[in-house]
Structure 1
Amino acid sequence: MAPSIPEQGRVPIASSAKNAEKESTAARLLGAGSAGITELIVFHPVDTIAKRLMSNQGKVSSASQLNSVIFRNTASEPVVRRFFSLFPGLGYAAAYKVLQRVYKYGGQPFVRDYLATNHGDTFDRTFGKGNGKFMMHATAGSLIGIGEIVLLPLDVLKIKRQTNPEAFRGRGVLRIVGDEGFSLYRGWGWTAARNAPGSFALFGGSAAAKQYLFKLEDYNKASWYQNFVASIAGSSASLIVSAPLDVVKTRIQNRNFEVKETGTKIVANMLRYEGPTAFFKGLVPKLLMTGPKLTFSFWLAQTLIPAFNKMM
């Protein structure tokens, strides 16, 4: 009989896509919800700045112009007033951000479970073990990202409050919903087109870092540091991949309600009047400001979900 290989000398076997991590439903919801709430408290002002920069169609060539773009009517007010002007639409942001994070971070594992159970062998055969697993995580993220359009009306209201408050004209939420109806889903196709590759890169980049950088077979065993590095990889990839479509989506959503300009028309006007670089407006602020926000919330969710699971 051949001698057994000592455990310390064993070479790790690439993890199969069928061996997906398992967490309780409560752990997934609590971890994702906690990440969403914490992100909202810390980063809402950053999100407002990024949205206003993306919505700006002029060139910013001085600090005073940048100040006017970011703070708008309060640009000449004291620092405290200017700071609080970065919290418009906080109610919409709270509803949208928490629901979105619960849906995305908490929902992706359910899609991943389904793919692992029903199509795990297919991912392994197509991409190979290890490759199949991180591709499955990425695919589950892409599918959950497309379904995120269900929450689009809350996102529309949040962005309009941040960038175009005049669009409300004294109307409350219920009145707006009653008046506008399904027009609140304007730009849903562009949103889905942006979310699919963005979420694929987010979950796929994170899983790839755990798979290849840290050689983890069970992603839930990642340390807080490993989750943090993986989150940086996933969030950076997501923001870069989704940047052009994100600019188009934001411009569709920040128009006055009666403006019916299509995404195709916006793309044509951007190319005609602003040039191709317009599709990457706000990318540097997003990487520097929104990037840490996405990294923070994704890292927190990936760390808290396994932690809550151990407690239950």
Structure 2
Amino acid sequence: MSPPISGKNKSESGMARFAGSASSGILELIIFHPVDTVAKRLMSNQKQIFLPGNTMAANMAALNQVVFKDAAQKTFMKKYASLFPGLGFAAGYKVAQRVYKFGGQPFVNDYLNRHHKAMFTSAFGEKTGKTIMHATAGSLVGIGEIALLPLDVLKIKRQTNPEAFRGRGFLTIVKDEGMGLYRGAGWTAARNAPGSFALFGGSAFVKEYMFSLHDYSQATFFQNFCASIGGAVASITVAAPLDVVKTRIQNRNFENPESGLNIIKDLIKKEGFHGFFKGLTPKILVVGPKLIFSFTVAQQLIPIFHRLFNGESKA
């Protein structure tokens, strides 16, 4: 996502920002949730899929089993439907995440701009300081995202380990597990801090240095596209290793947790360092359309909702 523009957002109400961001999250969820499920299942898989001695058919069958699980031998539509487990948790998490991230970063950036701009400028210079300030605001918002961790945990478990639920509903799980739903919070914060820094910082960098934009709100669609891709690819690549660890912590059975350090040791021993980047390719392949889509929808809908809520006609 491109860094939100403070100047532009100040003219729009908080309710409009909420409605536009929430709509963006809902539409993004409907379109991209299946791909997210595939990526999570690939990251959670601890066995080698493509074995040198196997035929292509055998390797594809193994991939099919990892991706579709119990629906591996079913029809195409049933396979596709199997990629929507935990949709309720995913909806709650994705909408809350988009509202928090789309709407939260501008407030933090405004605060830093008002109270600490001189510090960034003196340390990094005018242009780089501006970029680092956007990145820092994103990083701080990313760390605070651990408040949404229970919804993310439940979403991932439904995607990768549905047996962990054993027929229990949401409220029963919350009652039974309590703070256990925040397991892996430290690893999540460690992943979000550099990931969000790279997302907002990379996007600002592209606009600042590739397109020499003084006012980011003047960016064209193509410039927003390039900035979003640059920031998103940088973010996912930087966060990939800790994302794998976080996912494996969260997809374990509730009664059989495992520490992040043990997961890292086992991963290096059994899979090698390339195991830290499992699922990276499919995630990168959808980063462009996913973030460009959500950014465009939010930026288009927020002004519309602002006019609607304030009874204004389009200028």
TM-score (norm 1): 0.90
Q: Deviations over 1:279-303 (max 9, x none)?
A: 0111111111355323432444355
Mapped pair 1:45 → 2:34? yes
Mapped pair 1:177 → 2:174? yes
In the other structure, the counterpart of 2:18 is 29
Counterpart residue identity of residue 7, structure 2 = E
Q: 1:300 to 1:212 in 2, by over 3 A?
A: farther
Percent of aligned pairs with the same residue?
63
Secondary structure at the counterpart of residue 213 of structure 2? coil
Q: 1:263 to 1:280 in 2, by over 3 A?
A: same
Within-5 A mapping of 1:190-229: 190-229=187-226
Q: Deviations over 1:15-50 (max 9, x none)?
A: xxxx95341323432332222111011111111111
Counterpart residue identity of residue 35, structure 2 = V
Alignment match of 1:118 (pick from 115, 123, 135): 115
Aligned length: 294
Q: 1:307 to 1:136 in 2, by over 3 A?
A: farther
TM-score (norm 2): 0.89
Counterpart residue identity of residue 41, structure 1 = I
Counterpart residue identity of residue 100, structure 2 = Y
Secondary structure at the counterpart of residue 187 of structure 2? helix
Unmatched runs of 5 consecutive residues or more in structure 2: 51-58, 311-315
* Separation in 1, partners of 2:208, 2:172: 49
Q: Deviations over 1:137-161 (max 9, x none)?
A: 1000000000000000000000000
Deviation, structure 1 residue 304:
4.8
Alignment match of 1:136 (pick from 122, 133, 136): 133
Counterpart residue identity of residue 192, structure 1 = A
Q: 1:202 to 1:100 in 2, by over 3 A?
A: same
CA-based RMSD of the aligned residues comes to 1.7
Unmatched runs of 5 consecutive residues or more in structure 1: 1-18
Secondary structure at the counterpart of residue 76 of structure 1? coil
Q: Would you identify which runs of 4 or more consecutive aligned residues in structure 1 move more than 3 Å?
A: 298-312
Deviation, structure 1 residue 212:
1.2
219-228 vs 202-211, greater mean Cα deviation: 219-228
In the other structure, the counterpart of 1:73 is 70
